[in-house]
A and B are shown apart, each in its own frame.
Chain A
Amino acid sequence: MDLGFYLLQLLTGLAYASTLFLLAVGLSLIFGAMGIVNFAHGSFYMLGAYLLYAFSRGQAEGFWTGLILVLAAALVIGALVERLFIRPIYRRPEEYQILLTYALLLILEDLVRFLFGAGYRSLPTPPAFSSPLFLLGTPFPSYYLFLVGLAGLSALLLWAFLYRTRLGAWVRAATQDREMLEALGINVPLLYTGVFAMGIALAALGGAALLPLQAATPGMAVDAVIQAFIVVVIGGLGSVWGALLGAVLIGLLQAFGILFLPEMAMVFPFALMALVLLLRPWGLLGRPPAVRT
């Protein structure tokens, strides 16, 4: 086991962390701005994978156009779901908002089963990344590097959007005081539709980007949303940087944990989450709530 091997494992962990980040950051953003925990978030991740499969017709050559179409479709689907289902229940108790997204989780899983069948759906690695990259004599799958770059670019764009544009400032303001924002004449419902659609698009992008590495199944939705929960609980619910930190921690924990204790690898993320909950229940980068509710 030389240095190259550990570097490869590091890259594997980071590649996994990249899709986790794309998945979890939307969940965190939607919660931060809208106060809604989207239990169907993993379903849109799953939908992204299946849509890429459909748009590229299972051919590696169709990857790039497919990815752009997935993004566009996810934005439309996200906006529609928010308008049709989420908006009518903003003023209801939060339990009913959660139940509604839970209903969407049930519906979407079976819908995908109906449309694509219960079997595995996969896509070969796109041609641009078919040959590995050599570093220290070790072959590195270049697609992993693409994933890390994609997540890094997304994080950077998201940061620029939230902290360098007026619209982003409104989204941050919505997390603080919705009524004040409305009083200033900002169309908050429209802003919510946008945030929701953006979160869904990020999740779908994550799911689609994972397709060349891991086949899609209808059951992946609930696993994905739980992974996303673990990431945001560790990082802090509502915090974009928390999602990044949580995703990297879980990605590395998985990649290296599987080397030392393969049977226990599944339990590690839960153990880390339990530890964070006991020591710092609001997450590593979250803010402790002012009033306990």
Chain B
Amino acid sequence: MRLGLLFLGLLLLGPILSEYGLKLVSEALILGLYAMAFNLLFHQAGLLSFGQAAFFGVGAYAMALLVSRAGWPFLATLPVAVLASALVAFIIGFLSIRLTRIYFTMLTLAFAQLLYAVAHKWYAFTGGDNGITDLRPAGILGESLPFYYLTLLLFALGVGFLAALERSPFGYALRGLRDNRARAEAVGVDGFRHLLLAFVLSGALSGVAGFLQGALQRSVFPDYLFWTRSAEAIISTILGGSGVFLGPAVGAAAFLFLRVLVQANTEYWPFFLGLLLLVMVLFFPRGLAGVWENLAGWVARGVRRGAAGG
């Protein structure tokens, strides 16, 4: 119900936004979807992935290579982008989801950087650091408003899917594994398979986000696969609050707002990202959602005390 209202609001927002506004809100939706895909792993499965950029980048490169080298229409590349990022997620996940969560985090970072290095050096295939440019989708999707609606549609589908997943038996199994893997496995949940499936789903959704981002920017560069791109999903999630369903999406919007603000004044954006993450982790581990709940609780207590006093 609440989700429906959110989507309706975003639907009505489209025609009143300027070109720049459309681009910014589209980017917020894309980053929101990407961060929510990350949080499927982080919150539901208790897995901290530092390599989400791998799937984001593979989705973007699948689209870009098919459009620019093979002349495919933009939308037709979506299934391939999803499949390619799911496949890469399957391979990385198969190797990374072993033993402990610490291994998982280290290995996701390492494999994602390997893909970055390959994209960076393999000039003949990916164009190296010249990237792939001129990716404006043909037809009306090359215009801002239709593209915004496509982004909104995919965002709504992705978020709806994640909401359904959270309430499904699969979601319960994931949380069980997160809270106590030994017990969850003792009642018959296959830990490795469940975590791997969650990883593949998260990778596929990240691939959709990369597919959209490449078209929005009209270009794809190796930095789509770079580790700071993974940091964007992580920081959006921590900023918004990982424990609330829409927290990562709210965090993504706040993240972009901050980026516009900071980048107008300084080139040292990663420094601010790091500082932001440091402050959130040390003082506000539950993110903006946690700050909001504290404020709400504080106001409610104040009102009650006022009523009791009066």
What is the interface of chain A, defined by CB distance below 8 A to chain B?
A: 31, 37, 39, 85, 88-89, 92, 94-96, 98-100, 102-111, 113-114, 222-223, 225-226, 229-230, 233, 237, 266-267, 270, 273-274, 277-278, 281-282, 289, 291-293
Contacts and interface: CB of A to CB of B under 8 A. Distances in A.
B100 interface: yes
A106 B182 contact: no
Interface of A is mostly: helix
Contacts of B268: 110, 113-114
Closest 10 CB pairs of A and B: A106-B274, A107-B274, A110-B271, A103-B277, A103-B278, A281-B98, A229-B106, A103-B274, A110-B270, A95-B48
A282 B99 contact: yes
A277 B48 contact: no
Contacts of B269: 110
Interface in B257-309: 268-271, 273-275, 277-278, 281-282, 285
Nearest to B275: A107
A85 B113 contact: no
Given A102-B234, A104-B278, A110-B268, 6 more contacts: A31-B102, A37-B106, A95-B42, A95-B48, A106-B273, A222-B227
A102 B98 contact: no
B183 to A, nearest CB: 11
Nearest to A100: B281
Q: Which of B95, B100, B117, B274 has the most CB of A within 10 A?
A: B274
Contacts of A39: 50, 109
Interface in B21-47: 42, 46
Contacts, number: 115
A94 B102 contact: yes
A102 B231 contact: yes
A102 B277 contact: yes
Contacts of A266: 114, 117-118, 121
Interface residues of B, number: 43
Interface in B146-204: 181-182, 185, 191
Contacts of A100: 277-278, 281-282
A234 B281 CA distance: 30
Q: Which of B42, B98, B100, B281 has the most CB of A within 10 A?
A: B281
Nearest to B283: A88
B103 interface: yes
Contact of B282 (A37, A89, A110): A89
A111 B109 contact: no
Given A102-B234, A223-B113, A230-B110, A107 B278 contact: yes
A292 B99 contact: yes
16 contacts: A37-B102, A85-B282, A89-B282, A95-B46, A96-B281, A99-B234, A100-B282, A106-B274, A109-B270, A110-B268, A229-B106, A233-B103, A233-B107, A266-B121, A277-B107, A292-B191
Interface in B91-125: 95, 98-103, 105-107, 109-111, 113-114, 117-118, 121
B99 A229 contact: no
Contacts of B185: 292
A98 B102 contact: yes
A265 to B, nearest CB: 11
B106 A233 contact: yes
A110 B270 CA distance: 6
B133 interface: no
A98 B278 contact: no
B148 to A, nearest CB: 31
Interface string B205-227: 00000000000000000000001
